[in-house]
Amino acid sequence: MGEQHRGIGMTSARTRERLVQRLAASGIRSAAVLERIRTVPRHLFIDEALSSRAYEDSALPIGQGQTISQPYIVALMTQALIENGADRRPEKVLEVGTGCGYQTAVLAPLVGQLFTIERISALQRAARQRLSQLGLGNIRYRHGDGCEGWPGQAPFDGIIVTAAPAEVPPVLLDQLAPDGRLVIPVGPTGSQELLRFTRRGEEIERELLSRVSFVPLLEGKS
């Protein structure tokens, strides 16, 4: 490795560590999640022109009018999905909105199997290629409309949605296993809440996690 590359690597190790410290100070408690934020090379998920900003705690454009989520929100959603009283990790998890695949990469090693759906085929292809290069093997991809969930694989121990519908799609609640959790931003642009729903028998428990700003969940595929 040339001096130049080594230099970039060192800078990015330092800036990554700063990001991890910042997320820990903002209330991310899960050591497993913080370790993923430290390990996943976020700069590989964005355009090279923006790589100097890869370890800032902000959302960035990824083309097609879409964004890579803010690291704090990725960490918060991942923690909300995997933390539970039991020591069992979620076995089957569905992600709606693969986008560039960053959230997918953070989450995949923390669950048994990850099923991820993206409606824009160009994004889906790029994400799939990136994630297999990173050696993440427990992921299944689908180009389609995540509003329908993934009926052939349901029920899921966890569902994470990275685009915001106006209302929670009932189909996704229906695809939750007992004690399964749905982490989802809900509401119109400018006024969204990040919610966690947990299936408790016939009841669904609802918790407010944060106020957030996501791109809208759209129907159909393109």
- Write out the residues near ligand SAH by the rule CB under 6 A: 66-69, 74, 96-97, 99-100, 102-103, 117-120, 123, 145-147, 162-163, 215, 217-219
Shortest separation between residue 11's beta carbon and ligand SAH, angstroms: 22
Shortest separation between residue 18's beta carbon and ligand SAH, angstroms: 20
Nearest 5°: the CA angle 27, 193, 62 is: 80
* Among 69, 121, 191, 222, the one annotated catalytic: 69
Q: What is the DSSP string of 87-139?
A: SPPPSEEEEE--TTSHHHHHHGGGSSEEEEEES-HHHHHHHHHHHHHTT--SE
C-alpha atoms less than 13 angstroms from C-alpha of 54 in its C-beta half-sphere: 24
C-beta atoms surrounding 127 within 10 Å: 24
Shortest separation between residue 219's beta carbon and ligand SAH, angstroms: 6
Whether 90 contacts 112, CB under 8 Å = yes
Active-site residue flag, 121: no
Which amino acids are annotated catalytic? Answer: 69
